[in-house]
Structure 1
Amino acid sequence: MKKTKHTVALALAAMLACQPLSVYAATFADMNQVPWAGAEASINKAASLGLVVGETRNGKTYFRSRDSVSLSESCQLAYKLLMQTGKAKADDSVTQKWTPIMNAYGIQSWAYPAVSYCLENGILATSNLGGFMKNGSNLPATREQAATILGRALTKGVSSYTANETTTTFKDNSSISTEAKPYVALLKRVGVVNGDDSNKFNPKQTLNRTETAVLVTNLYGVLEKATTPTTPTTPTTPTNPTTSTQKGTVATMTNFYVNLKDSAAYYMLASGGTTITLNGSSATMSDVVKLYKAGTSIDVTLTLDSNLHITKLEATYKETKKTKGSLTKVRYNKTDKEGSITIDKDSTYSFTDKDDVDIRIDKKSYSLKELYDLFTKAEDDKTTIEVEVTLDNKGNLTKITGSTKESSSSDSIKGKVSKVNYDKSDKTGYIQLKNKTTKYYIDDTDDVTVKIDNKTKDYKDLYNLYDDGDSTITVTLTLN
């Protein structure tokens, strides 16, 4: 781009708060490296306003005029300009609120106040954060990205400025994204940006710090002259209208936000609490997230407050299959997240991720390891766990509910006694029936319930009755 007319397509102030030492200065040691003559005046003015800073090394301060400017620094510019001109105020609670999301996207902590302000006031959508960092490094801002951030900041800070145009007067208008065009047009209209000598905006090119100094002084002048500061009372997420409800299918979700398909909006849960239902029943956000992580298609109706925060979330999904039966095997691999359960010895269901399956036995929540321990104990206690398994519409295991029960008989035998055996020393024995070769063993005679003529007796009483020579004893044996 030619600089003879001192025009720039777009520039951005670099607020390098992450540097070890920042100095506001009217003179930088590397001024001889500016890209074009005459840019020194804009750099010095921006520095005197405290909007651009240098880096001090070995007692000298350097501006680094040809270095690129990042998206995080773009947000710093928007935030700093609004603060310096009285159009915004710092709010630590906003930073705290958005810290989990910024941390999840790897935003560096020095940018938290600025980025959180932009998120809170609709200058950024959460989905934008995915383009801020790569491998721990800040990514540079393109001209149209910076224009969008700064244009939105201008409309938030001064209510009389609007961005309604759907086109620009630049020759490369078709190369400018639909999202950026209204804000590029606004900044052009108020004299903040200009085209190059060919009247091109060059939207995909990145910025250097000299262009930054030109832009920042222009935009500062616009904001300083504005007499109608405004504090937005109804922040909106970009591209999403302010409404009381939103419906759709979940694209992404965590325990603190929901993003719908075909939408750039990320809706945060309300700080005062959110009422959550799942297929009409009361649930927690973790319950819904588990289904989402298991691959379930979830439809939601979101009730939103004036800040577009979720006060009520109604989630629904299709349950394609439910299977009931006795739990006969639990496999748990401690070294990874895999495992499986088997019902009635022939139906096995695998866990792709043990953390994504909702397990509730006797109305108590269990992890897979805890279910494994419970099943092992149930076997020792001679009890069974009756369960109902729920699969989602992709066949993934999503839910296990059940209850423990005393082992019911799997069979019973009735007939006349041919032999009753009893070993008094170790309290064991067996019973045989006439015309049967099977011996039905008793491991511990104290654990066997015996009734004779509907009266509770001991196994020893049955043995004595047989031993007395009564050959007409008819019994019903309940077997495990």
Structure 2
Amino acid sequence: MKKFLTVVTAISLVFGSTGVTAFGSVFADINTVPWSGAAKYIDDAQSLGLMSGYTENGKKYSKPKNNVTLCESVQMIYSIMKVYTKQDVSATDVSKWTSVMSAYNIPTWAYNATAYALENKIIETSDLTKLKNGTQNASREEVGLMFGKALSLVYTVNNSATLSYKDKGQVSSAAVPYLALLNSKKVMVGDTNNNFNPNAKINRAEMAVLSVITYNTLNGSATTTPSAPTAGTLAGTVINSMVLSNGDIFLSVKANSGEGVNVFGKSTSVKVTYDGETVALKDIGIGDTVTVTYSNDSLSAVVINKSIKGIATSKTYKLKALTSSKITVKDGSNETTYRLADSVSVTIGGSKSTVAKLITAMEDYDYNVTLSFDKSDNVSKIEAMSSTNNPLSGDLTYMSDSKLTIEVGSKSYDYPLSEADVTIKYDGKSMLFSTLTSNYKKNNYTVTLKLDSKGYVTNINIDFMEDETHGTLDFINTRRLELKAAGKTYSYSIDTNVDVTIDGKSSTLATLTSKYDSNPYRVALTVDRYDTVTEIAATTKNSALSKGTLKTLTTSKITITVNSKSYDYDLSSPSIKIDGKSVTLTTLKNSYKDYSYDVELTFNSKGAVTEIIGKNTKATKGTLKTVEPKKDTITITAGGVNYTYDITSSAKVTLDGSSTTVTKLDTALEAALNSKESISVTLTLNSSNEVTKIVATSEDSDTDETVKGTLIDLDAWEISVKVSSKTKTYDFKSGTVTVTLGGKSSDVGDLEDALDDLDRDEVISVTLYLNSNNQVTKVVAKIVDEDDEDEDDKPLKGDLTSVATSSSRLIIEDSSGKEYTWYCTSSVDVSYNISSRYYDEDDYKDDLTGLKKFLSDCKSERDTCYVKLTKNSSGKITGITAQDK
């Protein structure tokens, strides 16, 4: 690896210029040194290429009594350290700090050295004010502190160290450990009176002594650091392990016998193993016993034989189960359980968390985990990343060195940043990390992320950023517009033939002018040389994620699915149109679970939804509105909207389980309407959207409740059923009562005969439909085995005893204490109708997680949790109401 010893400068003190070996001093003023011993160090510094002098009138001068600036001190440290590490500062690191150094007016000749010092914590950003303009002279303490921090990259610092100097009281506490290190290495000591003189300015002669001793301590004959043999395998103890900013490693190993090695390893080619398993370069610690394989000064392999701190080996799994002491993961097709260490650390999405919080989070999300194991093979660290399909495009709302946050609609998503370099691009060109971090708040970036297999951000593509022609449309009329960008307002005239697009579609200036006030837009402008706008590309906030399938809907939020990913948005009193007809939010909320809606959303400036335009893609189930045999058409009401279809001549029609005709269905509808009843229908359509099958069921419009149980007795006036352990008797409504038995139309007499003809192990399960007067208007019955639990007979109300969010399962108990298990749909809607002073509805989410918390609170108060359930045709629960009994 090239030893870089030349730094081009053209200022007072030059560090790192090409050295010339001197057999006599090259400096004409060497006899002016403050003390005679300094001359040799000045010549050595020049010979090593660390310090050059001044050329004046053809002669070279060292000017040993001149003061040294802080910038020059940093450059000196860099010149020494890069020889020791055989590594120049990377261009990436320099780029990372360029904007900061520029802001502090650091001289450009010192950029490399300053970036190296910042990256390796030799100086902090708070120190940059002292380096400003490169003119401030350095004190002995300031130089000692920086040199001490540089050597701390190689040697261990004793943070409890003390100084024996007479004037130690004048030394700042922060500098004490580092000055003690320099003293222990005989690099920088006190004067003949044992004073350190921390506030005295350091001159060039003193700096020559300090730099040469430091150089020799690290690289020269005076150093105790081992040298590198040509090639082979060596067993020994690590005395220094330093992972460089570019990911490569410098390793210094003291051999068990003979010479040790100083070697470099590339992050991409060095294999490090512990107990037969590959581990990271950073897992190599000082004091570890190792066996290294190398060639010249290049490291190829390290085997850690014994680790002082223990090794963290990382694997990634699918998380299956977690308790306070154990974790179960799935590795391929196998499940494995590990014990947790006593002090296990947990992160979720890169943020610090706890085992308890991860256990709670598992109820709603699936996670992949990266586990780290200590030397006892217990899990010492859990890095959990959500394995759900979270969105990767959105507004950048937070950015730090370790994570970022994007906002999509009303929801925020956190992503940790990869420890390796994160690539940032805008318009195909690279952007500095520091630029994005500094400007994201004012420039309103929209970004698309790329993640690695563990869920860490490796790439950030900037899709939109604000500047003079990109921003938020603030005002527009037919002649001019104003946009706001990065905290400023820009005004432009508009060409009479301006081209306008809205959300990628061709539009007009009039449309944009009429809509911008209620629908704020982001705009990208094209302007001519006269700063007149010739093209306007307007984009609605979240427009790329505004079209999808309706997933869930509450009074305050809507969730849609776009390309298999879910996005949540707040609602702001939205207007709603389904298939061209206006409907209320309540209507859509009550019907969306029974259908499938493709929707397009419109947003306000805060990202809340103000308009929903939808299409019911499964509007084949609803209430029969009209049927016209002569026209062969049928109209149904589905989700508050009327839909009319043509009926094929061969269409099959059934009513309450019995075959019928379109004409008879029309007659039945007329009779039902006269009796204030309704008929529900399910249609089957062919590829031409024509009806080929009609399944109709009559329903009483005044039915308030249903009762399910086992038939005990009946006659023409009343019916008795066993509900749980009690027998209840209900009167029939006067007139004809609808009866179905085994899916076929029947009557009360047929039901009596069926009851008399039952086998010994048979019963008739019934569902009674009651009107507001508690009279039976309809009976649905079927014969079942006595020992079988009929799905239709399972109660839809009772005391809630258990909620399992992971399996979407709940258990209710009837008045006799018998338990019934129900499974819920993924989009089950939970509501609360509770008036007790112990509970506040706003404390509970409208999903199973909220219901589980409500059940827990009920148990704490020793109350029952009474619920009413709603199920779909598949027997799954779609709605749950928790209420007072």
Question: TM-score of the superposition, structure 2-length normalised?
Answer: 0.29
Higher relative contact order (CA 8 A, sep 6+): 1
Structure with greater helix percent: 1
**In terms of Rg, which structure is larger?**
2
Q: More strand by proportion, 1 or 2?
A: 2
TM-score normalized with structure 1 length? 0.50
